[in-house]
Structure 1
């Protein structure tokens, strides 16, 4: 933990100043002498620190490494105040730190008519009012006020510390009896920082509840090959936040636009309430389909998706092309024959005449007959062995 005992001497080797700047700026120095032993190394560290401040856009006047090394307290105090202005009160060159902060205070507690950072705070009431304005509900004002200015200031400072984490960098007595403008400004700037931090937290919370199109995903069978134009298919949209984390809740405005070979294809999007959305569509035709998925008019990751829909079998147009049956030959003892070569004959007559039939000897005592039915009506099937009809022949079949 950094601890400064003397501003006049503790910055002399540059280490304390470099460490302070690294902490307050959240940036790291690429190199410096971590164990300076000679004066040249100490001056080099101080030069690194001052050049860093200049790179941050801070204008330094009448101060150099020798000024700090020699313990010029006036210039060191000026440097510290410059750092406070830049990193705590957050004022850049050319702006009025006092006026900016004063305008902010007046916007928060206009009824107190604050015009300075000294006498207007001495009754302790203004700091309480500011704390209550920044985080309402801490006190019941003006009922909680007393005639004791120090007690009032202590109340406001304690509430700010306990409820907002604002450090008590000065005492209530200092604010009441010995007000220092720069000290008061620094302390009061923490209240503005608190609001800025809370605002950023709310923005972060909102961002965690807000899906980012570039992070959202779409996946599933409906975006993959081998889909057919004869039935429904589907895919899933998954909402994700800026860090790529699944949202886990629904309510987002995802829109799916599908364009097929002959025009738009309707898509149904169902919110599953858990951050996922099921999209179902029925391709009208085979061919290339472009599927665009957007969130608030912004394409999600990977959109537009290109899916090639293949033609599928359509029941109404599908028919039985070849019919077949098997003839099992038997001997006089009603035992299945195991060899072929018998005189098996087949003749089929349909509603429009003879039907072509193919007979195949399977060489195992069975014969396969394949034929085609093209017309509706009755078909008579004659099966013979050595010219005699087999059992049940002729057979009748009706095509409807």
Structure 2
């Protein structure tokens, strides 16, 4: 009897907690998708600003004097906005700078801005600032793309979202369903199929991927897109092991920025604007074949012992540059010896036990150094 009474109270308490949590979720704004979108938009802005050696840290605050906004608009449009206040002291100067950028977007670039004025930006209205950034993404990263591979039967008048959806559907294998830019991308399978379609002879085996391995699958697809396509790569830290994926940068020096992370893409709360921002890179991504590859790499070399491997290039004109990193991110000295026009021997002596990496353009190899015991 006593046990039944205890169980009854436990059940009631559990129901009460669930009700309170549900109520709390309704009262509080859903912050997960806002955080993801803010992260994505910040990364997109920084990706564009890099050509001017500028960065922002706070999407909400860093546009309030108009200086960064003006530079961003100049970079996106390729046009100069003329004279403006570079030393901002008064609010009136902030409003003038912001108005200069907004008026230019509407007058010269024919971009319609809804409910966005200089006061909202100066007053750090995050909702309207994010609305402005999305308008810029939609116009410059999606609508103004050259859609060379759109199907001939596609309607002439398509919205930017419809263009991106149509292009991706045409790339994906027939019969693979794509209905949205949110939940359809949560398990990594669609992204794997898209990457596989963009890289000849890749054979990614994405059909064997299962939803339970969503994070692993998404990471793999993103890594390959970063390494083999000019899709802005992801740089992330997995536990204590830092993994870097190097690419040949585009002419405007796009650097190692994350527009969205694997963890964010598989989050059920991810919003379509963040996903579209990341995917908008694919139509202009160009497949870049590997410049070389590693052979005869000892995956378990010993500490303080000379080890070597072979590096083959795909062209006699390619001059390889190889970096070996230890577990702390330090560089292990390596000696590069030319065997023939396309074959090199690389010698090195690891000094630290643990996971190391061989890096080069389009090359990433991981091996673990073991402790040599003398008995």
Q: Greater share of strand residues, 1 or 2?
A: 1
Which of these two proteins has the greater Rg computed from alpha carbons?
1
Instruction: Report the TM-score, using the length of structure 2 for normalisation.
Output: 0.49
Higher relative contact order (Cα pairs below 8 Å, separated by 6+ residues):
2
